[in-house]
Structure 1
Amino acid sequence: MTTPCGWRVSTEPGLFIGLMSGTSLDGVDGVLLESAPGTPPRVLAHAARAFPTGLRAEFFALNTADFDELHRSALAAQQLADLYAEVVATLLRDSGVSAASVRAIGAHGQTVRHRPDLGYTAQINAPALLAERCGIAVVADFRSRDVAAGGQGAPLVPAFHRAVFAVAGADVAILNLGGFANLSLLFADGRTLGFDTGPGNALLDHWAQRHLGHPYDAQGAWAAGGAVRADLLTQFLADPYFSRVAPKSTGRDDFHPAWLERHLSAHAAQASPQDVQATLAALTAHSVAEALRRAMPAVCELVICGGGARNTDLLSRLQQALPGVTCRPSDHSGIPAEQVEAAAFAWLAQQTLLGLPSNLPAVTGAAGPRVLGAVYPA
């Protein structure tokens, strides 16, 4: 088959690797995906690596303006490529698959700025170096073409979610609970919509690191023991982002530690750190539930993926906020929660090689369908 871009590709099942390091900044997830156009993709292997402490701290620092950013970003990109290459090597070893059998790696990179309002989004990545390390073609820079076409550049996963999670005759929503939360809305009539709802784990993780000395609140146990401060929650929800209509996307440029501190300044004497954690958990659950009720009133199932799917307290709050809706991790639908986003970028890499558009203008607001990503041949 010859694609619209002039490439000759096979429509037989192929192997693709997806690599995702998300806004939670906890590390890299990778999957080996078997995929062919028109058939449900299948995960064959999964591997993960935590970020070294220094690299994680550097990514946090690069989210804000600082000294010598270009040089530091280049060095961080090289370190990330090395970590990505380790994950790829593990996937190949564990699956018994050769590098020559893999058609491409979809490597998202690490988002450090996301400003579609200013016409750009920035992911730290070194795809040329990764292609050299692995001997496999790499597809990267997925978001910038959608932004160039006037879109938000996010979320990009709803098309993949429809391919994997759609249920005939039912309105189903997919919630990715990473550092930030985004919804994919799979309507029974075939429409697909999606948008970022607001903070997911990012502020929760920041507060847990600050007060517990841990990178996250395991299973939300600390938050579960706190009391939600209604006045503080109301103040959080007054942020203009929550009332904006889609298409919309967000990240650490909007919701960051300084944002939290501004809101806490009037409540610091009254709210204990544990109550703040409980209120941040309520913020995530409430903002997701309200957005879902408005956008998909007939929703029957909420499939949850991302690291937040393992937060027992957060899932409980979501279920309480959405009575009558079945809320459950994506494991029940065939792909474990922590593998979904990496699988999505493997699928997006396939779309790129096929010369097929993979953004949804109804989701991102782009001027039209676009082939996403840049290809770095092996």
Structure 2
Amino acid sequence: MPEYFIGLMSGTSLDAIDAVLVEFEENSVQTSQQQSCRQILALSHPLPNDLREQLLALTLPGPDEIERMALAEPAFARASADAVKKLLEKAGFSPDQVSAIGSHGQTIRHRPEKGFTLQIGDPSLIAERSGIAVVADFRRRDVAAGGQGAPLVPAFHHAVFSSHKEDRVILNIGGISNISLLPSDPQKPVTGFDTGPGNVLMDYWCHQHLNQPFDADGQWAASGSVDDQLLNSMLNDSYFSEAPPKSTGRERFNPGWLESHLKNMPGLQSQDVAATLTLLTAKTIALDICQYAPTATEVLVCGGGASNSHLMKLIENELEPLSVSTTTSLGIDPDWVEAVAFAWLARRTLSGKPGNLPAVTGASGERILGAIYPAG
């Protein structure tokens, strides 16, 4: 009998809660061989603008944070439960057919260098409103073991996307970009890390100047010209030269960071800044792939950035002659890979199996991640 799990993901972009219903082969979690999973149905549940603004404000220090977090957390949990309800209705499933929900929650602060990471989303409330057990708070156990708590998706990428014939890179471009380096040799460790900004700065700039949530297909950026002085200034950030394991977020790459690079460069056209930010994302990704995965022959892209054809073209140019495509070729739509990953991680937790990769996060060892919140 197949097993069904739901994955919930809301990332750095803070645009929506992605919900996906996933079918796993029974007992496949017990094997070390490549595992198969099938996406039954997926949807994106938009966050209300006021909630998005509350969550965005919580990513940086501010007044009365505890009170504001206490109000935003149940609102986000209710939105998560609504996404689950909508998903089940569309799929024709009942709650008792689903083993568990893997909820990433919303990261509001990620400071592993100070020993903490914080995702909110009240899993007790999601369990209460959905009638399904919830597995949540995946990252803190890895941090407790000395790790970065991120990225966690490389373990999933290894389980479902690895090949015995070629070295692969899985590139996830969300608000922040991360890579998973999957060697064909099973004796070599899987590695991965956050490369830096994905869509987060591009989306911010687009919203500021076009009042749009993102630059559709990168058309606005494609109309501009890259400013080499701005690009080189941003590339000099020490994060890009740090050795992995490493992870980052809005705490570092935020509007203030961008403005600090723009303040000495008055008069730049907004579309030129957009063009430069897009190349920053492409170039930092490519530099890390070339340095840390020199034997890779294939790069497979997932996340929202996979839909930006201009960004994809820049990445292809930077990585030529490597093959660059999306995870569609491996059976999972690039928009839903991270949500599927958290369904997979929930299943690992319920099975008593570790979900982290110490070679990726820097943790002192493998750990069973997250906490389980029963349905009733």
For the residue of structure 2 that corresponds to 1:117, the secondary structure is helix
Q: Which residue of 1 aligns with 2:372?
A: 375
Compute the displacement of 1:166 (Å).
1.2
Q: Which residue of 1 aligns with 2:48?
A: 52
Q: 1:317 aligns with which of 291, 314, 318?
A: 314
For the residue of structure 2 that corresponds to 1:161, the secondary structure is helix
Q: Which residue of 2 aligns with 1:102?
A: 98
How many equivalent residue pairs? 366
1:206 aligns with 2:195: no
* Structure 1 unaligned spans of 5+: 1-11
Q: Which residue of 2 aligns with 1:3?
A: none
For the residue of structure 2 that corresponds to 1:168, the secondary structure is coil
1:337 aligns with 2:334: yes
Q: 2:112 aligns with which of 109, 116, 123?
A: 116
Q: Which residue of 1 aligns with 2:353?
A: 356
Q: 1:136 aligns with which of 132, 135, 159?
A: 132
Compute the displacement of 1:138 (Å).
0.3
Distance 2:84 2:46 in 1: 14
Distance 2:242 2:156 in 1: 25
RMSD of Structure 2 on Structure 1 (CA): 0.9
> Which runs of structure 2 are paired with 1:39-188 in the superposition (5 Å)?
39-188=35-184
Q: 1:227 aligns with which of 225, 228, 240?
A: 225
For the residue of structure 2 that corresponds to 1:105, the secondary structure is strand
Distance 1:272 1:329 in 2: 32
For the residue of structure 2 that corresponds to 1:248, the secondary structure is coil
1:255 aligns with 2:253: yes
**What amino acid maps onto 1:176 in structure 2?**
N
Compute the displacement of 1:246 (Å).
0.4
Percent identity over paired residues: 52
Compute the displacement of 1:67 (Å).
2.1
Q: Which residue of 2 aligns with 1:264?
A: 262
Compute the displacement of 1:13 (Å).
2.9
> Which runs of structure 2 are paired with 1:8-19 in the superposition (5 Å)?
13-19=2-8
Q: Which residue of 2 aligns with 1:34?
A: 23
**What amino acid maps onto 1:336 in structure 2?**
D
Greater Cα offset, 95-104 or 347-356: 95-104
Distance 1:315 1:83 in 2: 32
Compute the displacement of 1:22 (Å).
0.4
Distance 1:187 1:13 in 2: 29
Compute the displacement of 1:335 (Å).
0.8
User: TM-score with structure 1 length normalisation?
Assistant: 0.95
Greater Cα offset, 82-91 or 150-159: 82-91
Distance 1:80 1:299 in 2: 39
Compute the displacement of 1:75 (Å).
1.6
**What amino acid maps onto 1:299 in structure 2?**
A
Greater Cα offset, 271-280 or 85-94: 85-94
Distance 1:353 1:277 in 2: 44
Distance 1:153 1:50 in 2: 26
Compute the displacement of 1:89 (Å).
1.1
* Structure 2 unaligned spans of 5+: none
Distance 2:79 2:127 in 1: 13
Compute the displacement of 1:349 (Å).
0.1
Distance 1:13 1:158 in 2: 24
Q: Which residue of 2 aligns with 1:237?
A: 235
Q: Post-superposition, which runs of at least 4 consecutive aligned residues in structure 1 deviate over 6 A?
A: none
Distance 1:273 1:376 in 2: 47
**What amino acid maps onto 1:303 in structure 2?**
L
1:192 aligns with 2:181: no
Q: Which residue of 2 aligns with 1:9?
A: none
For the residue of structure 2 that corresponds to 1:324, the secondary structure is coil
Distance 1:167 1:106 in 2: 26
For the residue of structure 2 that corresponds to 1:359, the secondary structure is coil
Distance 2:167 2:353 in 1: 26
For the residue of structure 1 that corresponds to 2:332, the secondary structure is coil
Deviations 1:49-106 (A, max 9, x none): 1111101111111111222211211221111111111111122112221101111000
Distance 1:174 1:288 in 2: 11
Greater Cα offset, 130-139 or 166-175: 166-175
Greater Cα offset, 64-73 or 216-225: 64-73
For the residue of structure 1 that corresponds to 2:369, the secondary structure is coil
Distance 1:170 1:128 in 2: 43
Distance 2:333 2:37 in 1: 13
**What amino acid maps onto 1:347 in structure 2?**
W
Distance 1:49 1:98 in 2: 19
Greater Cα offset, 196-205 or 226-235: 226-235
**What amino acid maps onto 2:244 in structure 1?**
A
**What amino acid maps onto 1:266 in structure 2?**
N
**What amino acid maps onto 2:111 in structure 1?**
R
Compute the displacement of 1:354 (Å).
0.5
**What amino acid maps onto 2:4 in structure 1?**
L
